[in-house]
């Protein structure tokens, strides 16, 4: 992924990142497992003036069974106050499930816009959207 790290830092620097932030995004079924994107966002958040606690599921043992990784990821997610979502989340069952759970838990959710892979412009999710239960 081609990334402008300074633009990413400037984009999120004015937002409130106090508390605990969970990084959400696709990992499986991708050539590189997208781990670099998780670690990049992790580094940027840790340098933020609010010094949030960052929960990064890419730090889990990626050699584990998928169901074990899902359990471990959700154990991290329930500790979070906020979520930042990486591009292509909609192609991932795991990331989509995490977003549904975060919405139900009323976490603040912010998305890294997929149209800006070179500049990683971030926008806040429209919180007026709510999923209807079946």
pLDDT in tens, 66-97: 899 999 999 999 999 999 998 888 888 999 99
Residues contacting 95, CB < 8 A, separation 6+:
24, 25, 26, 27, 85, 86, 89
pLDDT at 16: 85
Q: Could you tell me the domains of the chain?
A: 5-121 (3.40.50.450)
pLDDT at 17: 87
Most confident of 33-37, 113-117, 129-133: 33-37
Could you give the 3-state DSSP secondary structure of residue 29?
coil
Confidence of residue 117 (pLDDT cuts 50, 70, 90): very low
- In 3D space, the residue among 66, 104, 85, 84 whose CA is nearest the CA of residue 26 turns out to be 85
pLDDT at 3: 58
pLDDT > 90 in the chain, percent: 44
Confidence of residue 30 (pLDDT cuts 50, 70, 90): low
pLDDT > 70 in the chain, percent: 73
Residue 125: pLDDT above 80?
no
Span of 26-35, 50-59, 81-90 with lowest mean pLDDT: 26-35
d(Cα 111, Cα 126) in Å, to the nearest integer? 10
């Amino acid at each position: 992924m081609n990334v402008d790290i300074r633009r990413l830092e400037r984009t999120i620097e004015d937002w409130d990142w106090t508390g605990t932030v969970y990084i959400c995004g696709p990992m499986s079924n991708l050539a590189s497992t997208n781990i670099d994107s998780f670690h990049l966002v992790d580094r940027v958040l840790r340098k933020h003036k609010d010094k949030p606690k960052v929960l990064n599921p890419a730090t889990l043992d990626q050699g584990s069974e998928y169901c074990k990784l899902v359990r471990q990821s959700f154990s991290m997610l329930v500790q979070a106050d906020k979520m930042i979502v990486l591009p292509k989340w909609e192609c991932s069952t795991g990331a989509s499930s995490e977003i549904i759970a975060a919405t139900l838990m009323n976490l603040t959710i912010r998305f890294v816009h997929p149209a800006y892979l070179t500049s990683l412009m971030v926008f806040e999710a429209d919180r007026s959207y709510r999923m209807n239960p079946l």
